[in-house]
Amino acid sequence: MLKGKTAVVTGSTSGIGLGCARAFAAEGANVVINGLGDAAEIEATRAAIEADYGVTCVYSPANMLNAEEIEGMIQMAEKDLGSVDILVNNAGIQHVSPVEEFPIGKWDAIIAINLSSAFHAIRAAVPGMKQRGWGRIINTASAHALVASPYKSAYVAAKHGIAGLTKTVALEVAQDGITVNAICPGYVWTPLVEAQIPDTMKARNLTEEEVKRDVLLKAQPTKEFVTIEQVAGYAAFLCSDTASAITGSILPIDGGWTAQ
């Protein structure tokens, strides 16, 4: 489906981003992965994508706090792989704190990485997409693009901003063969979430099952985690011809969270 296309996925050395990168590679796309982690592990991840799917996969160390590095990543992909046809803005960080105690540096970093980095990448990628008459921009938002939770002022503000950015750019490029959508996962079962469980069990004197059901999944009526594969499959679908009329949409995949 995507043979001959190139996908750039930010925040893709693990979790949802890596799932998306592998899903695109499975459809024949060359892939640029980006993110943090141990250099040897990142290289193993990159090589595995090439070996598993027979595509080209390159790693960009671009810092999502730096607009010039983000633009450079897009330029590198266009130069070395020929184009940027698919852009997934997935990089993100989180901090939880009451608003009056929220560290200013954390606010600035969350807005920069979760929101501004998407603007910089989109700004750099759209001209090439327009020239080729085809593009898919997918922003990883969150259920928090639609509803709020306490103590997450920066994250919720950034994800609401991603929703607005998605709609605005979708309107601007609607006649250029480019779609722009935001995927809004609820709680996804990732290594990052799994690692939080032991400390939560101890702090709240709960069993593992109680932590999952009554803490992490309290807001999700299904009481089941969204999987990385489900989110990645959603992203791949949005790149298909079948989805070409879907644009400017804020698309929940949240086990019913935002239906409440």
Q: Which residues are catalytic?
A: 155
Total length of the chain: 260
Quote the DSSP letter at residue 239: T
Structure tokens at 251: 């698309």
C-beta separation of 207 from 200 below 8 A: no
Sign of CA dihedral 71, 72, 74, 78: positive
Q: How far apart are CA 87 and CA 62, in angstroms?
A: 14
Residue of 23, 41, 125, 123 lying closest to 59 (CA atoms): 41
Q: How far apart are CA 205 and CA 213, in angstroms?
A: 14
Q: CA 151 → CA 164, 175, 260, distances in Å?
A: 22, 40, 20
Give 236's Cβ-side CA count (13 Å radius): 22
Q: How far apart are CA 22 and CA 33, in angstroms?
A: 10
